[in-house]
Every structure is written in structure tokens, then in C-alpha cells.
Amino acid sequence: MELTELCFAGAARQARAVRDGEVSAADLVAEHLRRIERIDPRLNAFRLVFAEQALAEAERADARRGEDLPLLGVPIAVKEDIAIAGLPTTKGTNAARTPQPRDSAIVQRLRAAGAVIIGRTRMPELGLWPFTESRWAGPTRNPWSLTHSPGGSSGGSAAAVAAGLAAAAIGTDGAGSIRIPAAMTGLFGLKPQRGRVSLAPEPQMWGGMVVAGPLTRTVADWALVADQIHGAAPGDAHVAHPPRTTFTAAASTDPGRLRIGVSLRPWGPGIAIADEVRDAVQDTAALLTDLGHDVVRLDPPMRDLSASTQFAARYLHNAHLAHTGMEFPDLVEARTRAVSELGRRVPKPVARWAAKDDAALTAHANRVFSSIDVLLTPALTRPPIRVGEWDSRSAFTALLAASHYTTFLPLWNIVGNPAASVPAGRSSAGLPLAVQLVGRQHDECTLLSLSAQLERARPWADRTPSGLDHAN
């Protein structure tokens, strides 16, 4: 396999190539770095590229060939809200300056598995938006169309993987921020169960709404990386139940006959779903039926007013806390300050109510799984948005547009269930479409088995963006 092909082959294939001596880690990492140098000026996926360190790590990886290291020599990118020793955790801002004393648990575990940390990927300031753009850093662009966004807040991570600049990348998801960019760039992105992957040194983020996990080209890639990084650390506020098997085993196991509910009911009134998105969900439902599953239409009531109020209050309150907690809060952008001001205005009793784990809402949302095993919904309500599409909007109206766009996603951050964005074809303009699969609490394994079955029936990873290597 040519090196360029290998850059698009994903983490599992690259790990096997290094392990079998098909390619050296040094050559693999060097090729990714050459691609970053050539392509990333147009994508803006990386905030920092660790070229010198990555090459040194790759040489050390080659010296360790033969050891049982599942990610030996594999170049992986990490979102800029995850701590890396010696660097401030920038979270899309210029308002953090103090270097972290040690790596996060995620980065420690990646390194222990032999991975090469190739760079730090961009996000919108404080992770507030479903796009990755800022006044000071400019927009991050979608490898499938440079006029479109790769989503957010893990937009840099998604763009890097989709463009073959990293084998996999780590993202975080507080209201869809893994699933949104995965959906917009044709990747697989599974938001794990709350507490599945330690966020140490943070005990939790955004009051427990944020989880971390991989963005990858294939289901097997996700499983391989997640197998290396999951698990609790001392001080974690949340700890997931142990998975019933390894994620890699789940991704290679037939799911059996499942009961699958299909919902096209948006979370709130007055929200339209694009015809292409509706068709993608219905086509996926038909495919699942052909694969032998029991598929039924099911639009469970989700206590729209209570859930949406709780999410909005928690989101805005945490945005205010994140802003005021920065080292240099005056350096954040005007749009971020406007969102923070909305959060400051949330009445304290409402903020306290919203910050609590809502056992009643969690039980209510999970009642749907008394009759089904997996819930199928749209991932987003329309195909990828354009770069700068909401620039002229006020903070409030931009937030409203974002909530309509991502209506099917945030509930599962509030209640903690695992949920995956699975590629589901292309729009008429050739842009990626996706569906969301939601599982029972603590049950990523069923989602992985089902997603892998869909991938076998409807492969997506063999498609790669055209023109990136040749465009000016």
C-alpha cells in the first residue's frame, strides 16, 4: 500500500502495517507531517503540530516493534481542550497561558499504547458552537468542501481525520460535539457513556455533560482507540459500568436481531428536517429491516419543555463559568462574552436546578428502551452548514439556529447515554449525511456491533476527499 493510501486507511490498518513491518513508524509519521504541511493551510485543522516531537516518538516506536502496544507508531491528534504536559489547555481561546504540569489521562493512555501524538486540533472558543471558527484563528474547513464547515466543537479533529492528516483524533462532546463533526465529514463518531473515558485532571466538564472519545474512519478504528483510553481515574465524578466485552470484540460481533425504533420527531416545536436527512434515516431503517432487525416507527415524548429548559440553562450557566474561569477572560471574543452574559442572567435557583443530575428526566428518556434496543434518529436536521453562515446573527439567534440544527443530540448528554453518528450517504451536493444511533445506558457494545454491520452493508471509509493534494 502506498503511503498516501495508508494515511486514509485508519488507525487499525496503520497499527497492523507498523506491527508487521510493512512501514516504519518514522515513515508513516513523516508522511502525515508532509500532508499537514501541504494541506492544513487550507483546512486550518491544527492549532499546533508537534513535528519534531512526533518524529522522535516515531523513532522510539520503531525501536519498540515487537512489544504488545496496540497503537504503536500510529499518529493521533488531540483536541485542544485535553491537557498536554507543558502546554496551556487553550480550549479555542487565547485566554489560557499556564502550562499543564502533566498529560491528561487520555494522552497518558494513548502514549502508553504506543501512539504518536501528532498535534493539537482546533475548536471554537470554549466549545460553544457546532462549527469551528473564530475571529482570531479563522475558520476550520471541511475536507469535502472548503466552503463548508466540518462542524464543532471537535471540528479540527474531524477535519484532520477526514483529510488523512491523522489516523484518528480525540474529541469531546457536551451537546453533540463528537457527533456533529463526524456527521459533517463522513466519519464514525460515538459519544461514549458518561464516565466511560476519564477526563482527568478534570473531575468532570460542564457539569457532567461532556465526554471524550475518538473520531475515526471506521467502527473498528473507534473500537481500537477507545479500548486503549477508556476507564476511570482517581477523582472522576462519574464512572461507567464496565463494558461486557472489549470494544474491538463488539465491533467484530454480529449484533443479532435487534428491536430498533425510528424517530423523526425533533426536540421542540417548529423545527424542520431537510428531505435529504429524512430520506437518509428512512433508507437506513429499510437497510436495517433487510438485515433482519425489527424496525418500528417510535416518536417518544421527551418532555420537551423541561428537557430543553434544563439544557439551555445548564449550557448558558456553564458557558458563563467557563468564560469567567479563564486566566484572561477579557481576551475572549465578543460573541463568547455575549453568550457568557446570557449565562450570567440565568437565575441562580434555575442554574442550581439545571446543574443537578435529573434522575426523573434520565428515567423518562430511557423508558424508550423498555420496548427497543436502539433508537435511530437524524444526526443533524440538514446537510453541513457553510463556513460563516451564521456570522451576521446575534449570539441569541445563532444559539437558536444551532439548537434547531442539533435538536436530536443534546438530550443524550444530559442523561448520559452512548450515542453514535453513523455515515448514511451523501447529499445532492455530495456532502456527507449521517444518522444517530442511541443505545441503552452503559451499552456502547450494541451500538458498535450494529454500526459495524451497517458499515459492512454500506461501506463509507473507501471514499476520500478529492482535490486536497492538488488544489492551490
DSSP string over 5-70: HHHTS-HHHHHHHHHTTSS-HHHHHHHHHHHHHHHHHHH--EEEE-HHHHHHHHHHHHHTBTB--T
Q: What is the 3-state secondary structure (H, E, C) of 373-420?
A: CEEEEECCCCCCCECCCCCCCCHHHHHHHHHHHCCCCCHHHHHCCCEE
Strands of the sheet with 75-79, listed across from one edge = 46-49, 116-121, 75-79, 168-173, 211-216, 188-191, 419-426, 432-439, 374-378, 259-262, 294-297
Q: Name the 3-class secondary structure at 85.
A: strand
Q: Which residues contact 236 (CB under 8 A, 6 or more apart)?
A: 195, 198, 199, 200, 203, 204
CB 260 within 8 A of CB 294: yes
Cell of 464: 476520500
Q: How far is CA 414 from the centre of its chain?
A: 16
Q: Name the 3-class secondary structure at 283.
A: helix
Whether omega before 153 lies within 30 degrees of 0, making that bond cis, reads yes
Cell of 191: 459519544
Residue 421 parent element (H or E):
strand 419-426
One-letter amino acid for residue 120 of the chain:
R
b/e map 139-160, b = 16+ CB within 10 Å? bbbbbbbeebbbbbbbbbbbbb
Examine the residue annotation and report whether 356 is marked as an active-site residue of this protein: no
Q: What is the 3-state secondary structure (H, E, C) of 301-323?
A: CCCHHHHHHHHHHHHHHHHHHHH
User: Which one of the listed residues 104, 134, 149, 177 is annotated catalytic?
Assistant: 177
Cell of 262: 425510528
Distance CA 131, CA 3 (A): 31
Q: Name the 3-class secondary structure at 78.
A: strand
Examine the residue annotation and report whether 177 is marked as an active-site residue of this protein: yes
CB 431 within 8 A of CB 384: yes
| Helices within 325-368 (DSSP H only) | 334-344, 348-355, 359-366
User: Which one of the listed residues 134, 153, 198, 449 is annotated catalytic?
Assistant: 153
Q: Which residues are catalytic, by number?
A: 79, 153, 177
